[in-house]
Structure 1
Amino acid sequence: MSALKNKHKDTNSPAAVYAAGVFLNRLLGRIDALVSVVIIVFMATLVVVVSTQVVLRYIFNSSLDWAWEVSRLCFVALIFFAIPLALKIRGHVGIDILQNLLPPLFQRGLIIGLNVVGIFLMMVVTVVGTRATMSTWNQTLSSLPLSSGWFYVPLLWAGFHCSLHFASQSLDLALGGELPSSFVEEVKESMKS
């Protein structure tokens, strides 16, 4: 977030908004680092469980009863924990042809407006994920003594975490941060260097 990483130069913006943006970016940096470690743990668990299951099945003609549910839970968690990290770097597919035709001020307003819509939708995902988790918490998995509600926890986390990234990006743009470049432009630049 360019405007929030550099020293604040815009004297028209309230200091409290700037301080909130700096706090949010620091908080997100710590959350993102922790989530990255969680993703690595889930990925390692997935690889070990699936590899062990393949070896047991094809070499020893045996299997782990719980491998399917553990690998499925790890896969679901990987996807939903990674979504906010991709959102942070604007790594999701987006169509910016019309946006790029607008003047920078309107681009900024459009992105902030869409981020506000994104915050609302991600909070809906969080609320629905919380309800789904609570409604399935008493159901257990067939091969493990775990609640089936654990499959919904990554969903509600992703909704909350994404809303924080949308808020951070909006604050950055509102405080004069750089407009995001298009992915195609970024690829062209990286190929030149």
Structure 2
Amino acid sequence: MTPHARRRARGFVDEIEETLIATLLGLMTLLTFANVVLRYGFNATLIWSLEVTLVMFAWLVLLGISWGFKVRSHLGVDALTNMLPPRPRRVVALFAGALCIAYALLFLKGAWDYWAPFADLPKTTGRWFPTGIDWDARRYGFTETGDIPIPFDGLRNWLEQTFNSFVEDGEKQVDSYSKMPVLVPYIVLPLSALLLVFRMFQAVGRVWTGAEESLIVSHEAEDAVENAAALNEKA
């Protein structure tokens, strides 16, 4: 893949991530506003709105963690590392990055193991590190959310055929969903964990190649003080 193609692919992924986060925030605002209007203006309510808003908020937070690494907006304490010469500072940054990657990989394993049974997929064995595949783990593809409806029948049929079917006496049996299965909102867990691992490797890669000296690049407090000083000087 050429450098130009890689930049385009990276930009495409970035746009999807940012668009999804912006869409979630907008939908949360619209849904909450609509429910307030219905409740106080028409004495009605969208019974599923609270659960959908909570799900979207969880998606917003979990996807926002990896997005924060991408735009380098996470805060940190670098008072001690700034006292080190450039080379030791880089070594400390790489060590900290390795710890962050290890944590992200543990998070990915835990996220997959939690979500997989709801999607009728096998989870991994091992408490800390995956040591194999647990094909005998109990499946929970039948588990539904409390109030979230399935928006259209085509999606309902696909979900039922894929995740809520079983074979009995040599014939395939399909159970119906009355509400959205839990596997749909919970898919953000492995998705966000995978994005976090990807963004962690990107951050550590920037330090490894010498593009940056530290994983910490956001200094909001210092920037705020500088901006306030600049405004005072103009006044």
- Kindly indicate whether residue 219 of structure 2 is the aligned counterpart of residue 183 of structure 1: yes
- Kindly indicate whether residue 22 of structure 2 is the aligned counterpart of residue 40 of structure 1: yes
Larger Rg: 2
- Distance across 2 between alignment mates of 1:55 and 1:76: 24
8 Å contact from structure 1 (residues 84, 158) kept in 2: yes
Q: In the alignment, residue 143 of structure 1 is paired with which amino acid? A: D
- Distance across 1 between alignment mates of 2:36 and 2:62: 25
Distance 1:25 1:177, change over 3 A: farther
- Distance across 2 between alignment mates of 1:119 and 1:66: 37
Bigger proportion of residues as strand: 2
Does the residue aligned with 1:97 lie in a helix, a strand or coil? Answer: coil
- Distance across 2 between alignment mates of 1:23 and 1:173: 23
- Distance across 1 between alignment mates of 2:38 and 2:224: 46
Partner residue in 2 for 1:94: 76
Normalising by structure 1, we get a TM-score of 0.78
- Distance across 2 between alignment mates of 1:105 and 1:25: 30
Normalising by structure 2, we get a TM-score of 0.65
Structure 1 gap ranges (5+): 1-18
Partner residue in 2 for 1:142: 146
Bigger proportion of residues as helix: 1
- Kindly indicate whether residue 177 of structure 2 is the aligned counterpart of residue 173 of structure 1: no
- Distance across 2 between alignment mates of 1:36 and 1:182: 19
Partner residue in 2 for 1:3: none
- Kindly indicate whether residue 167 of structure 2 is the aligned counterpart of residue 163 of structure 1: no
The 5 Å alignment of 1:43-122 reads 43-122=25-104
Does the residue aligned with 1:117 lie in a helix, a strand or coil? Answer: helix
- Distance across 2 between alignment mates of 1:132 and 1:156: 9
**Larger relative contact order (C-alpha < 8 A, sep ≥ 6)?**
1
Distance 1:116 1:25, change over 3 A: farther
Q: How many pairs were matched up?
A: 175
Does the residue aligned with 1:95 lie in a helix, a strand or coil? Answer: coil
- Distance across 1 between alignment mates of 2:201 and 2:68: 15
Structure 2 gap ranges (5+): 120-140, 149-178
8 Å contact from structure 2 (residues 48, 147) kept in 1: yes
The percentage of aligned residue pairs carrying the same residue is 21
Does the residue aligned with 2:42 lie in a helix, a strand or coil? Answer: coil
